[in-house]
Amino acid sequence: MDCFIINGGRRVKGSVKISGSKNAALPILFATLLTDEKCEVSNVPDLADIKSTMNLLLYIGKICGHEDGIFTVSEEEPLKTRAPYELVRKMRASVLAAGPLLARFGKARFAMPGGCSIGVRPIDIHLEGLKQMGAEISYEDGDVVLNAGRLRPAVIPLHFPSVGATENIMMCASLVEGETVIKNAAREPEITDLAKALSSMGAEISGAGTSVLRVGGRARLGAVNYRVMPDRIETGSYMLVCAAAGGELRLTDAAPDTLTVFSDALRQAGAKISASGSEITIRAPEGRPAPVNVTTSPYPGFPTDLQAPWLSFVTMADGECEVREEIFENRFMHVPELMRMGADISVSGRKASVRGVPELHGAPVMASDLRAGMALIVAAAAAKGKTFIRRVYHIDRGYEKIEEKLRAVGIDIKRTRE
């Protein structure tokens, strides 16, 4: 397996071009299952999760290509309506194939996703929404089996604003004639991006970005031709690398308005941030950052996907602070690794209490998941000495060409084989 070796303590300087959003690209690529027309999605990052999505689309029967950020999807033969375990287990987002397949063919079968390192992440909200539209649900050999003689529009209240469930129901409803209303819908920018893509196919969607989302479905949808939004989590992650290691960084092709709460927290910690158009400039705090308490919550709150790298940053705060995780129940697995580097953190349930230390020190550490891996990169960039980060395949799921981008702004990072 690959690992990263980082010699820390080097200030950053330069610019990073932000890639297309992984979390927006995945549902848009699955939306191509709603049509038999040729689709083209641009600004799609080259990531392990994108490759997993391509493999599933290929298995189902689509013809796919991905080159220079452009992902093409076409169809010549009848499609399968099953997503097998060997493909689903590699990426939980594979469940997003269910809504489109059910809407188009009246049936879908997919392996029940297991738990993951950051929590159980059940799919009951997805299934309940599809059930209210007329799906019959059964279970067979570890698979979820969906059947529907005729789907119907519905008013669907979600008991939690699940991003994945909102996306699955949106895609399914886009191919069901009539208006479906999703109440307590997720409000993330990636939801808005999917809504724009579905609208380009012929669906009529209003309320994206609010808690009440209306989907006017059609009997047939056309091709997707769409450019994916910038990745706000990648943007925030590089901002934290700069804030922790020191220096100044310019981020291009970004979407500043998707990171308002996060940027405000960084400013409270002492960072200087300015934004103009699609560019963000950040200058690290002078001296140690001020301690700032944060609590993750659904958008527009503090993003759960930036909690782990944020925690790395505030380990060096000049004082004590708290980080509360209210989305996933097991998202502090990076804490023992940070403590190996000298951090002083105690965890109680969903709360991490941080007592800031003057500096971190390089050590051998291991990534437990995607965002925990980014947290270790933030810590390693700021630490004195050499850090070995193992299991970087987690990081490759969500950060395109990360070592190239970091080297270009002064971070001493090398990928090697264990």
Active site residue ranges = 116
The Cα-based distances of 51 to 158, 193, 319, 375 in angstroms read 30, 20, 43, 24
Q: What is the CB neighbour count within 10 angstroms for residue 404? A: 11
Determine the distance from the C-alpha atom of residue 147 to the mean position of all C-alpha atoms in its chain, rounded to a whole number.
29
Nearest CA to 307 among 405, 401, 240?
A: 240
Query: What is the residue type of 340?
Result: R
| Cα–Cα distance for residue pair 156/184, rounded to 1 Å | 9
| Cα–Cα distance for residue pair 325/328, rounded to 1 Å | 7
**Is the torsion defined by CA of 156, 157, 163, 165 positive or negative?**
negative
DSSP 3-state of 234: helix
Q: At what angle do helices 260-268 and 232-245 cross, to 10 degrees?
A: 10
The Cα-based distances of 370 to 20, 113, 331 in angstroms read 17, 18, 11
- Which stretch of DSSP H or E encloses residue 197? helix 189-201
| Cα–Cα distance for residue pair 278/188, rounded to 1 Å | 18
Q: Which residue has the tokens 């594979």?
A: 94
- Which stretch of DSSP H or E encloses residue 230? none
Strand ranges across the sheet with 63-67: 63-67, 70-74, 39-42, 225-227
Question: Residue 218 in contact with residue 175, Cβ under 8 Å?
Answer: yes
DSSP letter for 256, please. G
Q: Which two tokens stand for residue 65?
A: 């290509």
| Cα–Cα distance for residue pair 185/387, rounded to 1 Å | 41
| Cα–Cα distance for residue pair 284/173, rounded to 1 Å | 45
Q: What is the CB neighbour count within 10 angstroms for residue 138? A: 10
Query: What is the residue type of 256?
Result: P
Q: At what angle do helices 48-60 and 22-30 cross, to 10 degrees?
A: 0
